[in-house]
Amino acid sequence: MSSLNNAPQPPAPPTPPQDPKDPQDHHDHRIDEHDFSWLDLGKGVAGSLIGGTIEGVGGAAAGLIKTPRITFEALRGVWTSKMLGPVLKSTLTPVVLAAGLLAPVLTTIGGLGYGMFEGFTTGAEKNPLAAASKAVETCKQMHGKVTQQVVDAIREAATQQPATPQDVYEIKVVDAGKGLLSSAATAVIDSVGAATSVAFHVPCGYWKVSKDIWKSDVALPLKVGGSSWPPQAPC
């Protein structure tokens, strides 16, 4: 009998590792359009405001701080490139400078919009504090990784060598003048056209999206949050 008691026991099966994305992990609550509560909506709105504010300010800061460096690298890349002729280099210089002046405005708008979207999803899935942490991390990437990738791409393009003289890109002086005038006129026309298109289509788009949301079977809080403000008159 004692020999049976002292017999070696088979080892217990190993415990499977916990999957960090296991649905039982309540810290990572994915948005369910059919089970979206008023609390989720409140967290999403708060996260959207926090994320939009942080990333909007972060985008503006990135534009103001990093744009001069990127603009300098772009100008240096243009003038040191062996792939571009002197006339084309002179033509591209004002274009690069104009892009540098517009970059802070665009990064601010882009940061604000992306921050609001990212903040809503993160806030609804987790909490508004998580949205703040996510926005800060995104801003760090804008200031560090993304900026360095742009600079590296510019430097890599500037080091390319033409295989033959025919591979060098060049234009005539007359064509350069035409190109600058054409680009300026196109910028004005596109700006007016884009503003007109936005003023006409955005209200119509809001109305149609709102109608589709209210016709869907998603939860009521998500309908309220997703419909935003429809225009007073349908399209």
Structure tokens at 73: 């690298």
Least confident of 52-56, 158-162, 177-181, 208-212: 177-181
Classified as helix, coil or strand, 36 is coil
Q: What is the DSSP string of 37-70?
A: -HHHHHHHHHHHHHHHHHHHHHHHHHHHHHHHHH
More confident residue, 43 or 146: 43
pLDDT at 227: 67
Averaged over 96-124, what is the pLDDT?
Answer: 89
Confidence of residue 188 (pLDDT cuts 50, 70, 90): low
Q: Residue 112: pLDDT above 70?
A: yes
Q: Residue 198: pLDDT above 80?
A: no
Confidence of residue 141 (pLDDT cuts 50, 70, 90): confident
Averaged over 99-110, what is the pLDDT?
Answer: 88
Beta bridge partner(s), residue 169: 84
pLDDT at 232: 40
- CA–CA gap between residue 54 and residue 105 (Å, rounded): 15
Instruction: Give the percent of the chain with pLDDT over 90.
Output: 11
- CA–CA gap between residue 162 and residue 172 (Å, rounded): 19
> φ, ψ for residue 164 (rounded to 5)?
-135, 160
Confidence of residue 91 (pLDDT cuts 50, 70, 90): confident
Beta bridge partner(s), residue 214: none
pLDDT at 231: 42
Confidence of residue 133 (pLDDT cuts 50, 70, 90): very high
User: Cβ distance 130 to 67 under 8 Å?
Assistant: no
Averaged over 15-38, what is the pLDDT?
Answer: 59
> φ, ψ for residue 84 (rounded to 5)?
-115, 140
Is pTM beyond 0.85 here?
no
Q: Residue 83: pLDDT above 60?
A: yes
User: Cβ distance 193 to 109 under 8 Å?
Assistant: no
pLDDT at 54: 94
User: Cβ distance 203 to 231 under 8 Å?
Assistant: yes
- CA–CA gap between residue 225 and residue 213 (Å, rounded): 10
Cβ neighbours, 10 Å, residue 102: 13
Q: Residue 124: name the closest of 36, 22, 24 by CA.
A: 36
Instruction: Give the percent of the chain with pLDDT over 70.
Output: 68
Residue-wise pLDDT tens digits, 10-24 = 555 555 555 444 443
pLDDT at 23: 40
Structure tokens at 61: 């800061």
Least confident of 17-31, 34-48, 149-163: 17-31
CA dihedral angle for residue 66, residue 113, residue 99, residue 151, rounded to 10 degrees:
40
